[in-house]
Amino acid sequence: MSTFAMGCSRAYRCIARAFPHQYRAICGDGLEQLGEDVVPRVWQQHGVAGLIRLFADLAWRLPCEYLFTWIGRLKEATMTDDRFEGTWRARQSEASQWKVDQPAPQQAFLRFEPTDTGYLMVAYGVVNGEACTERPQVIIADGRRRPLLDLSGRPIPGVPTGAMTFGSKPDPQTLELGEEVDGQVLGAGRYKVSADGKTLTVTNKGTGLKGPFEVVMVLERVVR
């Protein structure tokens, strides 16, 4: 490869790395690698004109992707009348169900913290007399599918490769979340705040690592 083509590959890689985090979370470093593979071929086959076209494609997509990201954030920011923010504590209720191959918690809490794009949901409580916390979950309720990753953007142990998470907010009082692999739903959750804003009913169904589960919990607001 000529020095010029190598320089172009490097420049392409640098620009590709400037794409928004949400884009890179889904496409990974595929764009950088593809650019790297393509630059020498385009240079050989189409010369300078081909490289101009290649970089023009990149230069055009970069602001577009940022625009899409900002539009998504703006939609979330303009969500009015947030009913979820705060901490909720599970209470005894006839509506509650616990069909899971695990002991029911003696105490359970859910905390919704607003973020730039939605919420961070943290579940914690007491099981078998010991405090425990579940993996925090990022909720972006815009209907889009995103890879199911941890907060650092890394795969979660035990979660199948290619697992996607998605969420929607059909109305200001309801959040619907789900996880799927290959179009097959692993689990689906519905979080509904009562009309008076005092209780939250959580319904979770699906198939986990330890088999099928179905949970219905009624929680009451403890901290706004």
Residues found near other proteins in the complex (CB under 8 A): 16, 23, 26-31, 33-35, 37-38, 53-54, 57-58, 60-62, 64-65, 143-147, 160-162, 164, 166-168, 176-178, 180-183, 188
Whether 53 contacts 60, CB under 8 Å: no
CB of 83 to other proteins, least distance (A): 18
Nearer to other proteins, 66 or 213 (CB): 66
In order of 110, 111, 120, 152, the CA distances from 136 in angstroms are 10, 10, 7, 11
Nearer to other proteins, 41 or 91 (CB): 41
CB of 136 to other proteins, least distance (A): 21
In order of 18, 84, 115, the CA distances from 200 in angstroms are 40, 8, 20
CB of 106 to other proteins, least distance (A): 32
Three-state secondary structure call for residue 215: strand
CB of 70 to other proteins, least distance (A): 15
Nearer to other proteins, 99 or 145 (CB): 145
Query: Residue 99: which H helix or E strand, with range?
Result: strand 97-99
